[in-house]
Amino acid sequence: MNTLQTYRIKGMHCASCASIIEKTFKKTAGVESVQVNYGTETAKVSFDKTKTSAESLSKKIEPLGYSLEFGQTKKEKLEELRSMRNKIFSVIPLAVISIFFMGWDILVGWKIIPEMSQTFQTIFSIILPIMATYALFMVGKPYLLGVYRFLRFGKANMDTLIGIGTLAAFIYSLAITIFAKQLAAYINVSQTYYDVTIVVIAFIALGKYLETRSKLKTGDAIEKLLNLQSKTALVVRSGKEIEIPIDQVVHGDMVVVKPAGKIPVDGVIAEGTSYVDESMVTGESMPVGKKAGDKVVSGTINTSGTFTFKATGIGSETLLARIIKMVEDAQGSRAPIQALADKISGIFVPIVLILAFVSLSLWILLGSHYLGFSQALSFGLVSFVGVLVIACPCALGLATPTAIIVGVGKGAREGILVKDAGTLEKLHKVNVVVMDKTGTITKGKPELISIKNLSGEKSEGEISGISDDELIAILATLENRSEHPIAHAIVSYAKEKNIDLLSTNNFEAIKGKGLKGIVDGIEYFVGNSKLIEDLKLTLDSGLIHGETLQGKTPIILATAQKVLGIFMVADAVKPEAIEAVRQLHKLGIKIVMLTGDSKNTANYIAHQVGIDEVVSEVMPEDKLNKIKELQAQGKIVAMAGDGVNDAPALAQADVGIAMATGTDVAIESAGITLLHGDISRLVKAINLSKITMRGIKQNLFWAFFYNIIGIPLAGGLFYPIFGLLLSPVFAGMAMAFSSVSVVGNSLRLKTKKI
């Protein structure tokens, strides 16, 4: 049976490394599929446990300089970063000294300053080989290992290129130092390249350090989510409160949460009341009142009273754990736009090696005719090293994943959960959004939205002149005995308005028509127009006909003598829906509403919100067919629904968007999940997709630009025309800057408003 696991990889330095690891795993028996991501330094592997294991996979790549990590902590990553920093601090002073002497030579050539004294030249000629030896064999050890593995296994990566280039410069310089007299007749023995070895290794090491440090920052969304998790829980065992590690909580445990405490697992309140800060899930800053029977989720914070709840979701079952898993999976996934960069990176290193040797050969063969062998060999070596150093596939490998990591993390903080990178890429192309009505545009539950007080002026001899609040008190008192959803809406309205309920007796439900009961000695009737007809009371049909056409349900309160009031109940439009539709229109997106409701109700809601097209009285399969119809017209369709009864349409849409309240639906049900069912986050999700894709395209442009311009320049293509030849030192700077600039551009997405 196949298992799908994601592992961190140690020793991966460039996009070519990812390609090597991927190819090695694919050749392993039992591995069905593998996806290696350089940006996240992870491998997602599907394999048959009966044929191979994680340990076996790790051993397959260990000879190549890589290994699978099993539980590396943030502390270990920081320690690794500290080790890199120490090496850089040791080599940077050597690079500064080398640059000083290089600069002196350049200024002497321009006749700006006099030549260095013979004493200084002698000292420098002695210490330079020593500094180069330290730089190459201590700080540059990974690059030499890259050369070794290339010679032994035929696998080349970026370390191989740097290693060959700096080693070639060092060996050439060392040969001149040792055999100066013997070689003087053939080449210019006054020109060595120790400084190139030192400075290139220093710049590459610095670039790697800055890149690694920046990459740690790109993944801080996961760290922040992990920090929301409580480490311990206070549970009641054998009648006593004891504090235990979070992983020891079991289903059914009674968990006590005190003021300012984090809720450790998901559950249902059994005792007590409080206000809970659920901004982690809902994005809403105001704490939410909680009482017995209400759900609570892990990671949220109790702000006031103490309460006890029954644990219903533990470990990986909790909402927070599922969110973290979803964000991790999305950040590690591969966007389709990355395919081109991956293909290029996979063949990049061998091509660069060929180009470097071709450049060296052409300089020697052709350059010797015009410049002489000594000068041609010198230029050829500079070009050889320059091509190897500047041709870095790292920027190509980082272009997409770093932007995806930042984009997905930013979305998670905004209550937008992205399932995979492909979904995020497709979302920016969407030009039609199809929305379900109930739960998406409307709140999905009935609310009391209007009151028509017909009790009349205050007078003697009959019930009259009753205030709206008094009518609500009577109505809610009677409806409090009913289980109908409309009754809940009326009772909830009374609670929100702080209207106290009254005492009642002789309550009776009248099947299909309403109910009746005695409140403060007076018999009242509550129900529909049929009940009023049975009471032989007069009611102007015009008072309710127009509103029933809009999908509102009239609830009539009366005595045996007269109608006292009409209360309209409806599924109210979400306040944010109107603004969301307006913003979507500004983005040039057409909005289609699909609903099973009647035509009149659907049209009324659509008019309120500003919907472009309405399709009413549809079944789930009709929604699916409408999506197909739009796609057949060449539209890129996003479907927003509740993720349950809209499942077929969500699956068919180019991008499925689930409106989750945070606890009531599986967040894995669609490509995008909007927490708290907030439709305004759909606009943010599309804007997030747009800025992320813009960042990826910018990254890819600069990654290609560096190589398209840098390789010919380093190879000497422009020398015959413009006299330009790129020094390996500047090639090293450019290579380091290319990776850092790509990561930096991705981090810039954090500051973008969506």
Residue 125 has pLDDT above 70, yes or no: yes
Confidence of residue 107 (pLDDT cuts 50, 70, 90): confident
Residue in this structure with the two tokens 């050829």, named with its chain if needed: 380
> Domain of 433: which CATH number?
3.40.50.1000
pLDDT of residue 582: 94
Which of the pair, 335 or 420, is modelled with greater confidence?
A: 420
What's the chain's average pLDDT? Answer: 84
Residue 459: predicted pLDDT: 46
pLDDT in tens, 200-259: 888 888 878 877 777 776 666 666 777 778 889 999 998 899 999 998 999 999 999 999
| The token pair that represents 574 in the structure block | 């979400």
- Given a contact cutoff of 8 angstroms between Cβ atoms, the answer to whether 325 and 333 are in contact is no
Q: Is residue 626 part of a domain?
A: yes
For residue 242, list its beta bridge partners: 235
Please state whether 492 falls in left (phi above 0), alpha (psi between -120 and 50) or beta.
alpha
Q: Are residues 580 and 555 in the same domain?
A: no
The residue ranking higher by pLDDT, 711 or 462, is 711
Look at residue 517 in the predicted model and tell me its pLDDT: 92
pLDDT for 174 equals 92
| pLDDT 10s digits, 614-660 | 988 777 678 888 999 999 999 999 998 875 557 778 888 899 888 87
Beta bridge partners of residue 277, listed in sequence order: 301
Q: Give yes or no: residues 565 and 587 share one domain.
A: no
Of the pLDDT bands very low, low, confident and very high (cuts 50, 70, 90), residue 285 is low
Q: Which of 662, 691, 720 is the last residue of a domain?
A: 691
> Are 562 and 615 within one domain?
no
**Cα separation values, 748 from 403, 407, 611, 691, Å:** 9, 10, 35, 10
Confidence of residue 605 (pLDDT cuts 50, 70, 90): confident
Within a domain: residue 61? yes
Taking 50 as the threshold, does the pLDDT of residue 666 lie above it?
Answer: no
Number of domains in the chain: 4
* Tens digits of residue pLDDT in 286-306: 678 888 999 998 988 998 889
632: amino acid identity, one letter: A
Length of the chain: 754
The per-residue pLDDT for range 36-60, each reduced to its tens digit, is 887 778 888 999 988 899 899 999 9
How far, in Å, CA of 165 to CA of 161, rounded? 6
Of residues 216, 217, 219, 212, the one with CA closest to residue 328: 219
Cα→Cα distances 96→195, 478, 582, Å: 10, 86, 58
CB 191 within 8 Å of CB 199: no
3-state secondary structure of 403: helix
pLDDT number for residue 287: 79
CA dihedral sign, ordered 368, 374, 379, 381: positive
CA dihedral 404, 405, 406, 410 (to 10 degrees): 100
* pLDDT higher than threshold 50 for residue 679: yes
Do 617 and 569 fall into the same domain? no
**Most confidently modeled of 15-24, 324-333, 340-349?**
15-24
Q: Are 265 and 249 in contact (CB under 8 A)?
A: yes
Q: At what angle do helices 118-134 and 194-218 cross, to 10 degrees?
A: 50
Q: Among 83-92, 170-179, 188-197, 666-675, which is the least confidently predicted range?
A: 666-675
The answer to whether residues 545 and 484 belong to one domain is: yes
473-511 confidence digits (pLDDT tens): 999 999 888 877 788 889 989 998 999 899 888 888 888
* Statement to judge: residues 455 and 569 lie in one domain: yes
Whether the per-residue pLDDT at 667 is higher than 70: the answer is no
What pLDDT, in 10s, does the model give residues 162-215? 888 889 889 988 988 998 888 887 777 777 888 888 888 888 888 788 777 777
Q: Which of 525, 543, 573 is the last residue of a domain?
A: 573
Map residue 498 onto helix, strand or coil: coil
Q: Are residues 583 and 667 in the same domain?
A: yes
Is 436 one of the annotated active-site residues of the chain?
Answer: yes
- Read off the tokens for 178: 């040792």
Confidence of residue 690 (pLDDT cuts 50, 70, 90): very high
pLDDT score, position 264: 94
How does strand 295-296 pair with strand 274-277? unpaired
Confirm if 79 and 197 have CB atoms less than 8 A apart. Answer: no
Q: Given phi > 0 = left and psi -120 to 50 = alpha, else beta, which region is 743?
A: alpha
130 burial (CB, 10 Å; 0-12 / 13-18 / 19+) is exposed
Same domain, 617 and 631: yes
In a domain, 157, yes or no: no
Residue with the bigger pLDDT between 406 and 438: it is 406
* 449 and 427 both lie in a single domain: no
| Whether this model's pTM surpasses 0.85 | no
**In this prediction, what percent of the chain has a pLDDT beyond 70?**
93
User: Is residue 66 domain-resident?
Assistant: yes
Q: Say if residue 76's pLDDT is above 50.
A: yes
Asked if residue 488 and residue 457 are part of one domain, the reply reads: yes
The answer to whether residue 742 scores a pLDDT higher than 90 is no
pLDDT digits (tens, 9 = 90+) for 317-330: 888 888 787 777 77
Contacts of 267 (CB under 8 A, 6+ apart): 255, 295, 296, 309, 310, 311, 312, 313
Structure tokens at 471: 């009518």
Phi, psi of 565 (to 5 degrees): -170, 155
- Scored b (16 or more CB within 10 A) or e, 562-584 reads bbbbbbbbbbbbbebbbebbebb
pLDDT at 530 over 60: yes
Domain membership flag for residue 528 = yes
CA distance 318 to 267: 9
DSSP notation for 47-110? EETTT--HHHHHHHHGGGT-EEESS--HHHHHHHHHHHHHHHHHHHHHHHHHHHHHHHHHHHHT
Looking at the domain assignment, is residue 397 inside a domain? no
- 85 assigned to some structural domain: no
Q: Of 263, 285, 313, which marks where a domain is finished?
A: 313
Which residue in the list 195, 266, 436, 571 is annotated as catalytic?
A: 436
Q: At 310, is the pLDDT very low, low, confident or very high (cuts 50, 70, 90)?
A: very high
Both structure tokens of 297? 């989720």
Per DSSP, the three-state class of 560 is coil
**What is the structure's pLDDT at 718?**
85
> Phi and psi of 310, rounded to 5°?
-90, 125
CATH number assigned to the domain comprising residue 24: 3.30.70.100
Q: pLDDT at position 663, please? A: 44
Specify the CATH number for the domain of residue 461: 3.40.1110.10
The DSSP 8-state label assigned to residue 754 in this structure reads -
Q: How far apart are CA 349 and CA 16, in angstroms?
A: 7
Domain span including residue 300: 250-313
pLDDT at 662 over 50: no
Return the higher-pLDDT residue of 607 and 285: 607
DSSP string computed for 667-705: TTSSSEEEGGG-THHHHHHHHHHHHHHHHHHHHHHHHHH
Q: Are residues 462 and 582 in the same domain?
A: no
Which amino acid appears at position 583 of this protein?
Q
In a domain, residue 609? The reply is yes
* 511 plus 433 within the same structural domain: no
Least Cα distance to 353 among 322, 396, 310, 387 occurs for 387
- CATH code: domain of residue 289: 2.70.150.10
